[in-house]
């Protein structure tokens, strides 16, 4: 009867054992399919999976994992979030109409495009952008009036 030794990764050998002993080690998880086995009779080293008597001792391969198909959210571009952020910025930027006007106009456009995905957030962005736009227009008109009457830099 053939005798076998297990050759560990660190170079140590364990055994020799007969087929029954090697089969028991395999069932215990000590021997894996790629574990190096030395056949003592011939001195040949082979992977454990190539020894026919061990085939039934290795655990069956686990079933493949199920695949899931993920659908993308309706709107991943963040237009509603952009509208809210631009509306908040517009509330502070109205003091400089050259900044406040474009910021609030872009906030309005983003809010209109983002209403389908997040209506609450887009609505808040639209309201804040309108308030910032009105304040920017009032400030621009007042500045133009002061400049036209010569009262701006007195």
- 10-residue mean pLDDT series, the chain (154 residues): 88 90 88 90 90 82 79 68 93 89 94 89 94 94 90 77
Answer yes or no: do 109 and 144 share one domain.
Answer: yes
Same domain, 84 and 31: no
Does 99 fall in a domain?
A: yes
| pTM score, whole prediction | 0.50
Whole-angstrom Cα distance, residue 18 to residue 23? 9
Taking the CB of residue 109, how many other CB atoms lie within 10 A of it? 16
Nearest to 30 by CA among 5, 1, 3: 5
pLDDT of residue 69: 77
Is there a domain that residue 111 lies in?
Answer: yes
- Other beta carbons within 10 angstroms of residue 135's beta carbon come to 18
Contact, 11 vs 44, CB < 8 A? no
**Is 62 contained in some domain?**
no
**pLDDT at 77 (0 to 100):** 66
Q: Specify the residue for token string 């983002």.
A: 114
pLDDT at 52: 87
Q: What's the pLDDT at 154?
A: 72
Instruction: Please count the structural domains in the chain.
Output: 2
- Domain of 8 in residue numbering reads as 4-54
Residue 65 belongs to a domain: no
Strand partners, 47: 36
Decide if 60 contacts 32 (C-beta within 8 A): no
């Amino acid at each position: 009867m053939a005798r076998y030794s297990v050759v560990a990764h660190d170079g140590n050998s364990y055994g020799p054992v007969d087929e029954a002993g090697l089969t028991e080690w395999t069932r215990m998880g000590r021997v894996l399919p790629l574990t190096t086995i030395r056949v003592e009779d011939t001195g040949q080293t082979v992977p454990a999976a190539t020894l026919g008597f061990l085939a039934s001792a290795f655990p069956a391969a686990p079933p493949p994992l199920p695949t899931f198909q993920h659908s993308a959210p309706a709107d991943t571009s963040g237009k509603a979030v952009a509208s809210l952020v631009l509306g908040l910025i517009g509330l502070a930027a109205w003091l400089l109409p050259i900044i406040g006007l474009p910021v609030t106009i872009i906030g309005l456009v983003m809010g209109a495009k983002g209403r389908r995905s997040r209506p609450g957030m887009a609505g808040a962005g639209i309201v804040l952008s309108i308030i910032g736009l009105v304040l920017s227009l009032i400030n621009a008109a007042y500045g133009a009036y002061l400049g036209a009457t010569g009262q701006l830099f007195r």
